[in-house]
Amino acid sequence: MVIVVGNPANTNCLTASKSAPSIPKENFSCLTRLDHNRAKSQIALKLGVTADDVKNVIIWGNHSSTQYPDVNHAKVKLHGKEVGVYEALKDDSWLKGEFISTVQQRGAAVIKARKLSSAMSAAKAIADHVRDIWFGTPEGEFVSMGVISDGNSYGVPDDLLYSFPVVIKNKTWKFVEGLPINDFSREKMDLTAKELTEEKETAFEFLSSA
């Protein structure tokens, strides 16, 4: 398994995969778990629960400010039972506005506040990413991971390194299939796919002229 963390993580990961054709492209992934963990934490803070009480948030797309943190399918444990995050929060404008921008911009905000990057949070996210590859995802839970987009059912173009919801078993990841995508989500997912397509074209132009 090859895990890429250095930015631009998605396009660096795709470039690494193209440069090592003897390694199956499914064995390359990039880190969007830091964003995933941040999304869980923002929901937990808002509801006064722990991040472990929140599951099945999704980071779609690029590890950049176009990423789309999606909680349409997320659940939270409240008073001993699981409920949908939208139902639990009853604050659609926050979920479609400030929540998304906070997660998208969190890395920059940490650097601005501390004059340092969130290295420990990134290290924790790498450990989470590797643990789930090694031991699998818990039953009924999925996580976010930047993986090759080939064969996805969400209308994302093939041959991009794009963050999807995945489940992992026997050290093999699979796309979570069949999640309904509303118009709001579709627009956000397409926007980040467009950025990744442009990044890929720029990177490959540079490599071919090097």
Q: State the catalytic residues.
A: 63
Strands 68-70 and 75-78: unpaired
Q: In this structure, how many other beta carbons lie within 10 angstroms of the beta carbon of residue 75?
A: 20
Q: d(Cα 181, Cα 17) in Å, to the nearest integer?
A: 29
Closest Cα to residue 181, out of 61, 101, 88, 39? 61
Per-residue DSSP letters for 138-176? Answer: PTT--EEEEEE-TT-SSSPPSS-EEEEEEEEETTEEEEP
User: What are the φ and ψ backbone dihedral angles of 70, each rounded to 5 degrees?
Assistant: -120, 125
